[in-house]
């Protein structure tokens, strides 16, 4: 099927598939934590206008990052059996259209931050650089997973800054939680392409260290993620409800390491999408509830 003979609705579905819109469940709940912490716990005024702008920033930033990643990796995706059916190598979306989509969403992201506050506007260029630069990193460093984690970690502190315009310890701790959590589960996800990455001279923790050691690194990162969650709860002096969400989050971090073993990668998909998506949503729900009960 080509872009010339599809309906508008199908084309929308193609672009949503291109950017894996369903994966917004990873970072968006943490952005809501940052926003609600500023408004509910720290007493800043709520504005629907600002709330919508924060949501739009999340959508535009993530869309530009994913579209650019698909555009830049199109040659590798075409050669990898796991990714050969993605929209660009399959001919569903033209490369130049994906690049234009990236440029439009990047411009919309920066423009939206301009209408939030001056600090967010200036920081938007740094944020955009990080999330787009990630797509290059597999070409020269196995630390690409960390760069991805940094990109997604901007969501809670970014949302908090959108409301307050100031930095604070606890939102930074939530950002560190996201950084180590995302980096850890991205290593697990990359286990599927260990052999392919080696054959194409692409860099990743699994390609550099092998499956068993890569899982060990992922485990260590998730231990730090759990510690940041605990530290945030202590520093923020949150209601007991927070600790219910924290326990579920840490439990699901542990569960994905039970699912994925060096000699059995059959459940990587479940560990990556289902477990982490549920962990993020439940943690956000209980954390936000705790703000109202404090």
DSSP for 239-282 reads -HHHHHHHHHHHHHHHHHHHH-BTTB-TTHHIIIIIIHHHHHHH
pLDDT at 17 over 80: no
Which SS3 state, helix, strand or coil, does residue 173 take? helix
pLDDT at 3 over 60: no
pLDDT at 10 over 60: yes
Name the band, by pLDDT with cuts 50, 70 and 90, for residue 294. confident
| Residue-wise pLDDT tens digits, 98-108 | 999 999 999 99
261 - beta bridge partners? 264
All domains of the chain in start order, with CATH: 19-293 (1.10.357.140)
CB 47 within 8 A of CB 162: no
Segment 257-271 mean pLDDT: 88
Name the band, by pLDDT with cuts 50, 70 and 90, for residue 14. confident
- Looking at every residue in the chain, the average pLDDT score rounds to 93
Q: What is the pTM of this model?
A: 0.92
pLDDT at 23 over 70: no
Say what the pLDDT of residue 1 is. Answer: 45
Name the band, by pLDDT with cuts 50, 70 and 90, for residue 57. very high
Distance separating alpha carbons of residues 163 and 35, to the nearest angstrom = 7
pLDDT at 259 over 80: yes
Segment 225-245 mean pLDDT: 97
């Amino acid at each position: 099927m080509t872009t010339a003979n599809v309906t508008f609705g199908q084309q929308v579905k193609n672009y949503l598939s291109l950017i894996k819109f369903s994966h917004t469940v990873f970072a968006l709940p943490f952005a809501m934590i940052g926003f609600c912490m500023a408004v509910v716990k720290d007493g800043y005024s709520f504005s629907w206008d600002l709330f919508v702008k924060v949501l739009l920033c999340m959508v535009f930033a993530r869309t530009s990052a994913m579209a650019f990643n698909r555009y830049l990796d199109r040659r590798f995706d075409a050669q990898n059996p796991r990714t050969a059916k993605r929209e660009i190598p399959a001919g569903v979306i033209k490369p130049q259209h994906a690049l234009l989509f990236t440029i439009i969403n990047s411009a919309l992201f920066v423009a939206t931050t301009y209408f939030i506050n001056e600090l967010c506007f200036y920081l938007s260029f740094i944020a955009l650089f990080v999330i787009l630069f990630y797509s290059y990193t597999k070409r020269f460093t196995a630390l690409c997973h960390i760069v991805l984690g940094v990109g997604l970690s901007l969501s809670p502190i970014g949302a908090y800054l959108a409301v307050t315009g100031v930095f604070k310890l606890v939102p930074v701790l939530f950002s560190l939680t996201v950084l180590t959590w995302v980096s850890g589960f991205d290593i697990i996800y990359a286990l599927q392409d260990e052999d392919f990455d080696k054959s194409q001279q692409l860099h990743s923790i699994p390609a550099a260290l092998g499956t068993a050691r890569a899982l060990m690194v992922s485990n260590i990162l998730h231990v730090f993620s759990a510690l940041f969650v605990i530290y945030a709860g202590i520093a923020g002096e949150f209601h007991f409800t927070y600790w219910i969400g924290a326990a579920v989050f840490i439990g699901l971090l542990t569960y994905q390491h039970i699912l994925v073993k060096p000699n059995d990668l059959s459940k990587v998909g479940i560990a990556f999408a289902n477990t982490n998506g549920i962990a993020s949503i439940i943690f956000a729900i209980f954390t936000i509830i705790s703000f109202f009960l404090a």
